[in-house]
Amino acid sequence: MLSYPTVRTSLIFLAIALVGLLFADIAITANNPWRDLGNFFLGVLTPNFFSSEGLLTALLRTVAFAFVGVTVGGVCGFFLALVYRFLPVRVFCAFIRAIHELFWALIFLQFFGFHPLTGVLAIAIPYSGIFAKVYSEILEEADPEPGRLLPPGTGTIAAFLYTRIPDCWVQLRTYTAYRLECGLRSSAILGFVGLPTLGFYLETSFSQGMYSDAGAMLILFYVLIATIPLWVRPKLLPVYIVGAPFFLGDGLPIVWGNVERFFTEDIVPSPLRDGEGLAGLLPWLNELMIEQALPGIWNTVVLTQIALVATGILTLLAFPLISNHFGGPIRRTSGHIFLVIARSTPEYILAYILLQLWGPSMLPAVVALALHNGGIIGHLIGRQTNTIRLRSDAPKGFNRYSWELVPRIYRSFLAFLFYRWEIIMRETAILGILGIYTLGFYVDSAIQSIRFDQAMVLILITAMLNIGVDILGRYIRRKLALQTMPTC
Amino acid sequence: MAGFDLSGLTASFGGERVIGPLTLKVKEGDQVALVGKSGAGKSTLIRLIHQRVDGQSSLVPQELGLVNALPVFHNVFMGQLDKHATWYNTITLVRPFKQDRKQVLELLDALRMSEKLWIPTASLSGGQRQRVAIARALYRNAPVLLADEPISALDGPMAHHVMQLLRDRFKTSVIALHDVEMAMKYCNRIVGIQNGQVALDEPTDQLAAADIMSLY
């Protein structure tokens, strides 16, 4: 077994995660975590949909921000995809998608304030970068032959519309629909920094111990995601896209003086602002690195590696839940429900809930990341096993799992896992806002104490870290010859 | 341009020469059948000619090059994308104009598949797909036809019908065929390819089928 590169790689990552556990802060610090968890589940079972009208407004805003953000991101991303072959465009896109929606929101909040533009741009900017990358990959896959057969003198646009777009139309549509679902999740969590979406409502209910209100919100959110195929129809899309901007709410007006001050003063490193010049910059940067960036990077990397392996383990445990090769329909239905809930809940919301219940440590973050990502990959792998045809005398039970199925799906399992590595790291960094000492914690503290210059440097470092992991992940996937689909 | 005179035609794959160097002169009115064993280099030669005449030809490649997601109409219409402005082509993509619909329908009628006008080519049979590629070449209406095994997926009567149509519509053509009988019947000049070289080049009326069989 050890001669397989995939197995060796897995064991190396497992070892790294185990060593990480020695350094990680894993604990349940709440006094009575199980009672709190019980109260929470009681709240989910006794949802209160009518406590305030705020819930429906929050739901409407969540959908509106998602639609406007994803539409703007999709259009920009499409045009970027057309010029994606140029290196500066690729670097630019990698950079804007390496910064999480919540970080973008935190930045825009500082100068646009609680204006709808803050929420729209927070979704649209990183999504443009993601769309650009995936759209360009899809467009590249189109069959080049019809294009070569066109009469010379055919216009570029006509050639593109006739030979490229129709060939990739289905993939473009599927991916955009998947991104819309992600957009709903992003939009929901923007509430945690104060925008009027579901996250805001959830945080308010939780902080007041109104678990039934929070439960109602979560249930509505699942229904919203699960019914996407019913209410997102091609014919209705124009209505949503045109209508959504009118439901973003008014927010507060933009003070343009703030915008100017932000760029000309706030984000200028303080030694430069105070006239200390370059001589003061080095000690400033040094202090920032030692006191904030390095601990932040260390915690982010440790947590990411543990969460990555936990995600893998959970995936391998969860995929049989929906696989046709085991058990009866009742188990599969409950398996589907478990995986849908796990992957529909944004990891940020999961982490928030668990953190409230178990108290601050890395544990809620690991569990949240593993549940969400394991739910996504488990679902994909489970569906993949359903296309496998076993011989009729194949072994049953655990032998079927370990001899027939896992060896067959292991490569795509690793491919998905390494594809999500960068996504897990992005989320890990952002979970710092909830009080875990990853990079997001230091960014958030810097912003809270109006040290925007430091916050910007820390966000840049986070982006670089994500880009680095993305490159490493791609290198490993190429080295192991793993193929991936973008829709994961 | 109706004929062409190409010299120094060569092609290599992985460092190994598969074609030429050979010279091919085709006059207006020549209807050339390229014959030879599979792997002799007929397809490569067709591609080479297509490149050398700068695309000034109606090409039917072996792999057809259809856009599977588009209906038959649009796949045929693509033969004349250069004749219209971009806005016209874009509108046609959504809602074709009447005169174009009529022209394409007439062509499909001649190929006996007019009822398939709005069917996506992905859901057609192999023979129907081949006829769509032929319709596109006919619609393109270039002075020269270059076709690579255009009747390989068609049954007997339909194959004859299509060869007849191609002979009537294109005064000058180069058609790769593995069926010697078809080549003798519908082409006025036979060029035999062997090991990437011209091994035979005669007017059809001076040849017997047995002369060609020596190539196989």
> How far A157 CA sits from the closest chain B CA (Å)?
7
How high is the pLDDT of residue B196?
82
pLDDT at A353 over 70: yes
Contacting residues of A for B76, CB less than 8 Å apart: none
Residue A10: predicted pLDDT: 94
Q: Which residue has the tokens 């923007």?
A: A190
Residue holding tokens 């912003």? Answer: A447
CA distance B172 to A42: 82
**pLDDT digit string (tens) for B36-62?**
888 788 888 898 898 888 778 899 999
Res. A144: pLDDT tops 90: no
pLDDT of residue A485: 57
pLDDT surpassing 50 at residue A488: no
Q: What is the dihedral of CA A179, A184, A190, A192, to 10 degrees?
A: -130
Contacts of B81 in chain A (CB under 8 A): 150-151, 154-155, 158-159, 162
Report which DSSP code applies to A433.
G
Q: How far is B206 from chain A (nearest CA, A)?
A: 35
Minimal CA separation from A141 to chain B, in Å: 13
In the prediction, which pLDDT does A33 show? 76
- Please count the residue pairs, one from chain A and one from chain B, whose beta carbons lie less than 8 angstroms apart: 69
pLDDT digits (tens, 9 = 90+) for B67-79: 988 999 999 999 9
Q: Are strands B58-60 and B31-35 parallel, antiparallel or unpaired?
A: unpaired
Query: Which residue in chain A is spatially nearest to B146 when comparing CA positions?
Result: A149
**How many angstroms separate the most distant Cα atoms in chain A?**
80
The pLDDT assigned to B206 comes to: 84
Nearest-CA residue of chain B relative to A163? B67
Identify the closest residue of chain B to A148 by CA–CA distance: B65
Decide: A480 and A414 in contact? Cβ < 8 Å.
yes
* ipTM of predicted complex: 0.79
CATH architecture, domain defined by B1-57+143-216: 3-Layer(aba) Sandwich (3.40)
- The pLDDT value recorded for residue A484 is 61
Residues B69, A153: C-beta atoms closer than 8 Å: no
Mean pLDDT, to the nearest integer, of A180-187? 93
Tens digit of pLDDT for each residue in A262-319? 888 888 888 888 877 788 888 888 989 889 999 999 999 999 999 999 999 999 999 9
In this complex, do B81 and A159 lie within 8 Å of one another by their Cβ atoms?
A: yes
Q: Is the Cα dihedral A108, A111, A112, A113 positive or negative? A: positive
Integer Cα distance of A426 and A419 in angstroms: 12
pLDDT in tens, B114-130: 999 999 998 999 999 99
Give whichever of A68-77, A248-257, A270-279 has the largest mean pLDDT: A68-77
Among chain A, residues having any CB pair with chain B shorter than 8 Å are: 143, 145-146, 148-155, 157-159, 161-163, 166-167, 169-170
Return the residue of A nearest to B82 by Cα: A154
Mutate to test the interface with B, among A149, A154, A165, A171 (most CBs of B within 10 A): A149
The CA distance from B208 to the nearest CA of chain A, in Å, is: 35
Beta bridge partners of B12: B17
Backbone angles phi, psi at B201, to 5 degrees: -155, 95
Please state, rounded to an integer, the average pLDDT across all residues of chain A. 89
Task: Name the nearest CA neighbour of A488 among A85, A133, A178.
Answer: A178
| Residues 6 or more apart whose Cβ sits within 8 Å of residue A477 | A415, A418, A419, A484
CA distance A100 to A80: 19
Are residues A151 and B69, on separate chains, in Cβ contact within 8 Å? no
Write out the residues of chain B at the interface with chain A, using a CB-CB cutoff of 8 A: 54-56, 59, 61, 63, 65-70, 74, 78-86, 89-90, 93, 136, 140, 142
Q: Which of A296, A294, A290 has the alpha carbon at shortest distance from A436?
A: A296
pLDDT tens string B134-182: 999 999 989 999 999 999 999 889 999 999 999 999 999 999 998 888 9
Range with the largest mean pLDDT of A37-46, A105-114, A238-247, B99-108: B99-108
Q: What's the whole-number mean pLDDT along residues A12-20? A: 95
Q: How far apart are the first and last CA of chain B?
A: 33
Which of B69, B70, B82 shows the shortest C-beta gap to A151? B82
E strand residue ranges, A112-167: none
Domains of chain A are 1-30+278-488 (1.10.3720.10), 52-266 (1.10.3720.10)
For residue range A205-252, what is the model confidence (pLDDT) as tens digits?
A: 888 888 888 888 888 888 888 888 899 888 888 899 999 888 888 777
Q: Is B81 within 8 Å of A158 when comparing Cβ atoms?
A: yes
The C-alpha torsion from A297 through A299 and A302 to A305, rounded to 10°, is: -70
Closest partner residue to A161 (CB to CB) among B85, B90, B140 is: B90
Residue A136 predicted with pLDDT over 50: yes
Does position B107 have pLDDT exceeding 60, yes or no? yes
B71 Ramachandran zone, left/alpha/beta (phi>0; psi -120 to 50): beta
State pLDDT tens for residues A108-131: 998 888 899 999 999 999 999 999
Dihedral sign computed on CA atoms, order A32, A37, A40, A42:
negative
Contact between residue A315 and residue A381 where contact means Cβ atoms under 8 Å apart: yes
Q: Could you tell me the pLDDT band of residue A431, with boundaries at 50, 70 and 90?
A: very high
Q: What's chain B's average pLDDT?
A: 89
Residue in A139, A145, A157, A162 to test binding to B, most B beta-carbons within 10 Å: A162
d(CA B40, CA B197): 8
Domains in chain B: boundaries: 1-57+143-216, 66-141
Record: contact A149-B61, CB cut-off 8 A: yes
Q: Does the pLDDT of residue B104 top 80, yes or no?
A: yes
Burial of A355 (C-beta count, 10 Å sphere; 0-12/13-18/19+): buried
With a cut of 70, say whether residue A18 has pLDDT above it. yes
Helix/strand/coil percentages in chain B, nearest 5: 45, 25, 30
pLDDT cut 70: percent of chain A above it: 99
The angle at the Cα of A133, spanning A127 to A136, to the nearest 5 degrees, equals 125
Tell me if A158 and B66 make a contact (CB, 8 A cut-off): no
| Alpha carbon of B185: minimum distance to chain A alpha carbons (Å) | 28
Interatomic CA distance for residues B96 and A405, integer angstroms: 50
